[in-house]
Structures are given as C-alpha cells and as structure tokens.
Amino acid sequence: MSKPVVATTSLAGCFGCHMSLLDIDERILPLIELVEFNKSPVDDIKKFTKHCDIGLIEGGCCNSENVHVLRDFRKNCNILVSVGECAIMGGLPAMRNGIPIKECLRVAYLTGPSTTANTDHLIPNDPELPMMLDKVYPCQEIVKIDYYLPGCPPRADLIWETLLSLIKGKPVKLPYEVIKFD
C-alpha cells in the first residue's frame, strides 16, 4: 500500500519549526516508515513530483516568492498545516508591518548598524529578486489553511502527534497547554 506523502517548506521563517520536526529524535525512523517525503528541505527535493497528502508550512509571506510557493503547496497538497507563529501570525518578521517598506529598506541597507559592508550604498534591485510585499502576511490570508500548530516553534511532540493523527485520518486534538497563552 502506498504511504501518505508529506511536503514541507519554509517561507519567511527561521527553520526553527523544521528543527522542531527533527526534534522528534529517534521517532524519525518510524516516521520514514509511515510516510514518504516529497518537496521538502528534509530530503532536498526542490519541486513537487506528485500530489501530496499533507503540507507543512513554516513562516508567513513577506515576498512574492513566498506567495508563489504557498499557492503551489495549496494546489499540490490535500491538507495544509500552518506550523508555528510565523505561519499563523507573521511572527517576528511581521514586526516590520507598522513601518513603511521604504523605511525598512533604508535602515536595512543604508543606515542600520549592519550596513558597513554595503560600500556601494545600494538597495538590491536585481529584477530576479522576489518583490517584497507591503507587509508580512499570515498564510491563511493567502490560501485556505486546514490546521494550525501554535508555538515558536511548536513542540516536537505536538508535530509528531498531529502528523500521526493526519496520517491515520483522525481528528487533530491540541492539548490545552499549547493553546493557552497565560
């Protein structure tokens, strides 16, 4: 019998959510028995080679490339899961949302403390670069998202239990301690 197929990606994220997935430690062995990975940094497959059952999304959308990848995941995955606060709320990258984009670029490339190496005083403008969006968007504002795993990052156990439930076609149950914020 064919295994469920899982794809993962990192949009505007720090890869911490992927690290949390790897934090399932030795359970990675039964996971590989249970599922097949497709497009993912886990196996370095860059493009979808088949339709997938589950897509795990880390990070929100800060540029046109993120939007393109997210829409591609929606098209190619039956179930999409937003993994972590960046995917759900924009996270740390969304701290720029109250600041005009022009000002963000000026500080990042021209006047900020880490710009001394930019001796040409240029803001990158190659047409190949993805366009920055006016703000960082959570994934559910771009495509339909089926499940949300809170946390920064969500605990490995939560990712593991959620994957098991989805693989077995059972309802995803989030324990109280992961959905309270006090």
Q: What's the min distance (Å) between Cβ of 160 and ligand SF4?
A: 16
**Residue 49 · residue 23 · CB < 8 Å:** no
Could you give the string, one character per residue 87-126, with x where binding to ligand SF4 holds by CB under 6 A and - elsewhere? Answer: ----xx----------------------------------
- Tell me the pairing of strands 61-63 and 77-83: unpaired
In terms of Cβ atoms closer than 10 Å to its own Cβ (0-12, 13-18, 19+), residue 103 is: exposed
Cβ at position 94, least distance to ligand SF4 in Å: 10
Q: How far is the CB of 85 from ligand SF4 (least distance, A)?
A: 4
Q: Which amino acid is at 32?
A: I
User: By the 8 A CB rule, do 11 and 17 touch?
Assistant: no
Among 5, 8, 9, 16, binds ligand SF4 (CB under 6 A): 16
Using CB under 6 A as the criterion, which residues of the chain lie in contact with ligand SF4 when the complex forms?
A: 13-14, 16-17, 58-59, 84-86, 91-92, 152-153
